[in-house]
Amino acid sequence: MGLYLLQVIWLFLPAGCANMAAAASKCVPFLSYPIDANKTWRGNIIFGSHKTWRGLFFGFLAAIAMAYIQQTIYHTGANYYLFDYSHLNFWILGVLMASGALLGDLLRSFIKRRLHINPGTLWFPFDQVDWILGAIIFTAWYVPISLGQMIIAVLLSVLIHPLVNYVCYLIHMQKNKF
């Protein structure tokens, strides 16, 4: 079972990297413009000023880089792979994982603003699963992902996401613990 969990984590690592890179990039002044250009829709902000083009850029960059690393080290003979990376295009895999993770996050922010939930306010479990559900939806047509792998990925994201957030809080990368 431990190997299976490792394989699922490895599969969705590009999406996780996209999600983390978008958040971690806030110290870089490059492309620090809000995606929604501070516009409103029906009297509410669309995503919020914290959702920037910088986050999208670095999120895509991180996911593509991780997919490249995965494909490059595929031939080492390790058994933590769920599928044959040699038949995949790392560009496509990285873009799909990043698109799903980042658009899932944007959709969640859009819904939170409609519900008048402030940015940074905990919204369990949606804050934990938005990126993984997006990655599953965008990637499942390209990579064979079983229902069991999807369920494990969602459950792991509910467990791992708060832990990663807490570590980021401890090292002062974010203001909120979870």
- Helices and strands (H and E) in the chain: how many: 6, 2
| Reported confidence tier of residue 109, pLDDT bands at 50, 70, 90 | very high
Report pLDDT for 167.
81
136 pLDDT exceeds 80? yes
Report pLDDT for 78.
60
Please write the tens of the pLDDT for every residue from 149-169. 999 999 999 988 778 777 877
pLDDT, the chain, mean: 88
Task: Tokens 């995503």: give the residue.
Answer: 47
Annotated domain spans of the chain: 2-170
Q: Are 139 and 100 in contact (CB under 8 A)?
A: yes
State pTM to two decimals: 0.89
